[in-house]
């Protein structure tokens, strides 16, 4: 038997094709505009570029006043949710080549929250709802010194899906109930309540269930699944809302 080691040839990277994409962005400057207006931009893009790269290119090379939020640029911070061709997505996770570039790409701010400038909305109402469900561990007893709060893998799996939320608001701002009723807690607040309601270490599920049994709570959900479709983390948002509804009806988590 031969001991010869097969040497693989180094692969030559394929040339990344470039193309021109047209972005039509809904602009609004409260100091100048009475109403939002649409503005087109043509940008030269590479096959690996994302919508966030296109926005940066426009801002750096064509119009420095273009305003949008972003931080991590890798789908973790949740700050760049926007409507891209009518669908809520993260700009940093949307490849331009995956959109239909034979047509313009329409970009606008998420709906249902007050528009501040261009693609930036006021997130305060969203975070107020989030805070109102007590999104933190509320445990009655303190473990003995040096001991942990134990949890089995099965107990941990019960709420694993809802731990993935990055608070991007893509779900809440895609919900038609939230568009028409700004008082509704919205899917993201319910997801973050779910995360603690079903945590075996928490002792205050009932407090959150009572909060969400409010007339602006879970019963406002019309099960349209927009939230689940919009979630960039793949969280089964509608299912989480249904589980909270069932827990309210049962009277326990």
Question: Under the rule (CB under 6 A), what is the footprint of ligand FES?
Answer: 70-73, 75-80, 90, 92
DSSP state of 111: S
Count residues binding ligand SF4 (CB under 6 A): 16
Distance CA 85, CA 93 (A): 14
What minimum distance in Å lies between the beta carbon of 93 and ligand FES? 7
Q: Which is nearer to ligand SF4, 104 or 186 (CB)?
A: 186
Hey, what are 83's tokens?
């409507």
Residue 76 binding partner per list ligand FES, ligand SF4, none, with a CB distance cut-off of 5 to 8 Å that depends on partner kind = ligand FES
Stretch that binds ligand SF4, among 1-9, 38-46, 135-143, 165-173 (CB under 6 A): 165-173
- Percent helix, strand, coil in the chain, to 5, is 35, 15, 50
**CB nearer to ligand FES: pick between 73 and 207:** 73
Best CA proximity match to 242, nearest among 210, 219, 226: 219
Residue 168 near ligand SF4 by CB under 6 A: yes
CB of 178 to ligand SF4, least distance (A): 11
Least distance CB 56 / ligand FES (angstroms): 11
Partner whose footprint covers residue 190, from ligand FES, ligand SF4, none (CB < 5 to 8 Å by kind)? none
Is 23 exposed, middle or buried, given 0-12, 13-18 or 19+ CB atoms closer than 10 A?
buried
DSSP, collapsed to helix, strand or coil, labels residue 58 as helix
CA-nearest of 82, 73, 76, 152 to 113 is 82
User: Measured from the CB of residue 91, what is the shortest distance to ligand SF4 in angstroms?
Assistant: 14
DSSP 7: P
Pairing of β 105-108 and β 81-84: antiparallel
CA–CA separation, 117 and 112 (whole Å)? 14
71 binds, among ligand FES, ligand SF4, none (CB under 5 to 8 A by kind): ligand FES
Does position 188 interact with ligand SF4 (CB under 6 A)? The reply is yes
171, 205, 221, 244: which one binds ligand SF4 (CB under 6 A): 171
| The pair of three-digit structure tokens given for residue 142, joined into one six-digit string | 């303190």
Residue number with CB closer to ligand FES (25 or 92): 92
What does the alpha-carbon distance between residue 151 and residue 136 come to, in Å, rounded to a whole number? Answer: 17
The residue from 52, 99, 193, 230 that contacts ligand SF4 (CB under 6 A) is 230
Least Å distance between CB 191 and ligand SF4? 4
């Amino acid at each position: 038997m031969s001991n010869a080691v097969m040497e693989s040839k180094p692969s030559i990277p394929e040339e990344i094709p470039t193309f021109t994409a047209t972005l039509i962005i809904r602009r609004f400057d409260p100091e100048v505009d009475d109403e939002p207006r649409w503005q087109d931009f043509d940008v030269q893009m590479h096959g690996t570029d994302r919508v966030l790269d296109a926005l940066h290119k426009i801002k750096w090379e064509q119009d420095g006043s273009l305003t949008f939020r972003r931080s991590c640029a890798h789908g973790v911070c949740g700050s760049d949710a926007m409507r891209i061709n009518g669908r809520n997505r993260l700009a940093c996770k949307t490849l331009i080549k995956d959109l239909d570039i034979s047509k313009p790409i329409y970009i606008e701010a998420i709906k249902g929250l007050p528009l501040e400038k261009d693609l930036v909305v006021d997130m305060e109402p969203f975070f107020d709802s989030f805070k109102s469900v007590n999104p933190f561990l509320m445990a009655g007893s303190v473990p003995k010194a040096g001991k942990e709060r134990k949890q089995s893998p099965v107990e941990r799996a019960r709420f694993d899906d809802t731990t993935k939320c990055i608070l991007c608001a893509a779900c809440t701002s895609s919900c038609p109930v939230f568009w028409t009723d700004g008082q509704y807690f919205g899917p993201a607040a319910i997801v973050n309540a779910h995360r603690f309601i079903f945590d075996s270490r928490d002792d205050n599920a009932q407090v959150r269930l009572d909060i969400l049994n409010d007339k602006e709570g879970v019963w406002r959900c019309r099960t349209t699944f927009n939230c689940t479709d919009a979630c960039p983390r793949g969280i089964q948002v509608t299912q989480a809302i249904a589980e909270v509804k069932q827990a309210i009806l049962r009277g326990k988590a």
